[in-house]
Amino acid sequence: MKISRRHLLQYAASASALAATGAIPAALTSAFADEPRRVIPWKNWSGGQSCTPALRSVPESEAELAELVARSATPIRAVGAGHSFSPLVPTEGTLVSLDRLSGYVSHNAATHRATFKAGTRLGAMAAMLAGNGLALDNMPDINKQTIAGAISTATHGTGAELGSLSSFVTDLRLVTAAGETLDCNGGNADLLNAARVSLGALGIVTETTMQARPLYKLKRRTWVAPVEEMLEQAPELWAKHRNFEFYYVPYSGMTIGIINDETDDAETPEPVNEDDDGLRQLQQLQEWLGWAPSARRWVIQTIMDGMEPEERVDYSHKTLSAERNVRFNEMEYHLPREAGPEALREIVATIEDNNIEVFFPIEFRTTAPDDAWLSPFYKRESCSIAVHRFHEADYTPYFSAIEPIFHKHDGRPHWGKLNTLKAADFAALYPKWNDFLEVRAELDPEGKFLNPNLRDVFGV
């Protein structure tokens, strides 16, 4: 492993500057400055993935990034906000962050397209769009991710007619393995469709243009309903409302439904930010009453019966994304939409018949089809079901009981979330799999952008 002294010093200098902005912890950078050869471990948000890269780089410019990539003799992985649960990021080579390549570039007032540097966090992007009277058509549950990280795994929100974030990308720029920049847009649509969801395997995305729309407000309504009632109404609810999702609370027979519809009503005051969405309470109930499912069910039902429907009006980016303060690991699969309700019934039965230890609610969402080759929504109306396990607990017994249900229904896993599929499985699930592999091999013949997990995923 050859570590260039120049890059180390550059890292130390840029890292201390960055630490001053609070973007990365000062302790981490000062340790690096004092001991330039000390490696800095990395771990993801849940703590489930980690690595000790030989070099960590935070380039200041696209040119610096291109030079780093061109000269690197070892594997390179890009990291965004580290919010993926699957092992997409870990590398023993070079880990590149685009924290310094972030911010607004420009927008076109006529087409409502806005260009951002790819390291921009979704929350900052949404605020900058709002400042220009614009918003995206949809947002995920949280807004901490970077644009590049979010689109690389087809991050999505909910809405039967609304695509994933990757589907909003009209243009993007990559630094390829050769250290060259490559613009992907409507002029080379195949390349754009390969690059819009690429797991960081085609190159490092430095800039993206997103299709936005004029700023809009949403009225968000939440209510409680028994699971069968919610499942029976689900097709009508996803057809009728702009954004529909629900959570099933394990061992309760009850769900919480959430719908958002456009409105011109005045904004309501922001609700007090509850630290944990009631998760600690559910965790305690599991600890106290896990041995007595009927009692646990009665207590949760009693609490939920007392929950009044709620309404909130605010700009879309404020109602669609929230905070997640309790850490977890997650598996989420995207299924053919019509299979969703039945799959959820099977999941609930599997958990409750086998007394599987879980307190996190199960999330049910919908997403519109798109054309990105590795998008799990590729030409398929989808519904997504996500299961979560507290970050300190072993998720394998739970996830391995549920995953076969997703497979049975032809589910495609969220790229950023845990799953056990291999290359042959993906080849069967993705019609454009081989086309993607060809583009990958052409742009990165030596596998510079691969880590052991991606070698497994692509079978190379």
Ligand X SMILES: Cc1cc2nc3c(=O)[nH]c(=O)nc-3n(C[C@H](O)[C@H](O)[C@H](O)COP(=O)(O)OP(=O)(O)OC[C@H]3O[C@@H](n4cnc5c(N)ncnc54)[C@H](O)[C@@H]3O)c2cc1C
- Residues at the contact surface with ligand X, assessed by CB under 6 A: 45, 77-84, 88-89, 98, 118, 140-142, 145-146, 148-150, 152-153, 155-156, 199-200, 204-205, 324, 414, 416
Q: Between 56 and 414, whose beta carbon lies closer to ligand X?
A: 414
State the pairing for strand pair 94-97/55-57: parallel
C-alpha dist (Å) from residue 266 to 53, 216, 263:
50, 12, 9
Alpha helix ranges (H) inside 41-133: 62-71, 122-131
Q: Rounded to the nearest whole angstrom, what is the least distance from the CB of residue 335 to ligand X in the complex?
A: 14
Q: Between 41 and 133, whose beta carbon lies closer to ligand X?
A: 41
Nearest CA-CA partner of 325 in 152, 144, 149: 144
415 CB-contact burial (10 Å; exposed 0-12 / middle 13-18 / buried 19+)? buried
3-class secondary structure, 62: helix
Residue bearing tokens 């340790």: 31
The packing angle between helices 340-353 and 396-408, to 10°, is: 150
Q: Between 183 and 352, whose beta carbon lies closer to ligand X?
A: 183
Q: Cβ(460)–Cβ(447) under 8 Å? A: yes
Catalogue the E-assigned strands of 361-401.
Answer: 362-367, 382-390
Q: Rounded to the nearest whole angstrom, what is the least distance from the CB of residue 10 to ligand X in the complex?
A: 18
Q: Rounded to the nearest whole angstrom, what is the least distance from the CB of residue 28 to ligand X in the complex?
A: 16
Return d(Cα 439, Cα 190) in angstroms, integer. Answer: 9
Catalogue the E-assigned strands of 119-154.
Answer: 134-135
Return d(Cα 382, Cα 376) in angstroms, integer. Answer: 9
DSSP summary character for residue 378? B
Q: Rounded to the nearest whole angstrom, what is the least distance from the CB of residue 76 to ligand X in the complex?
A: 9
Structural tokens at position 51: 């690595």
Q: Rounded to the nearest whole angstrom, what is the least distance from the CB of residue 294 to ligand X in the complex?
A: 32
DSSP letter string, 260-309: EEEE-SPPPPPPP--SSTTHHHHHHHHHHHTT-HHHHHHHHHHHHHTPPP
Q: Rounded to the nearest whole angstrom, what is the least distance from the CB of residue 43 to ligand X in the complex?
A: 11
Q: Rounded to the nearest whole angstrom, what is the least distance from the CB of residue 88 to ligand X in the complex?
A: 3
Q: Rounded to the nearest whole angstrom, what is the least distance from the CB of residue 374 to ligand X in the complex?
A: 11
Q: Between 29 and 243, whose beta carbon lies closer to ligand X?
A: 243
Q: Between 93 and 416, whose beta carbon lies closer to ligand X?
A: 416
State the pairing for strand pair 76-79/94-97: parallel
Q: Between 118 and 439, whose beta carbon lies closer to ligand X?
A: 118
Q: Between 325 and 355, whose beta carbon lies closer to ligand X?
A: 325
Q: Between 98 and 259, whose beta carbon lies closer to ligand X?
A: 98
Q: Rounded to the nearest whole angstrom, what is the least distance from the CB of residue 264 to ligand X in the complex?
A: 27
Q: Cβ(414)–Cβ(332) under 8 Å? A: yes
Q: Between 81 and 402, whose beta carbon lies closer to ligand X?
A: 81
Return d(Cα 222, Cα 256) in angstroms, integer. Answer: 7
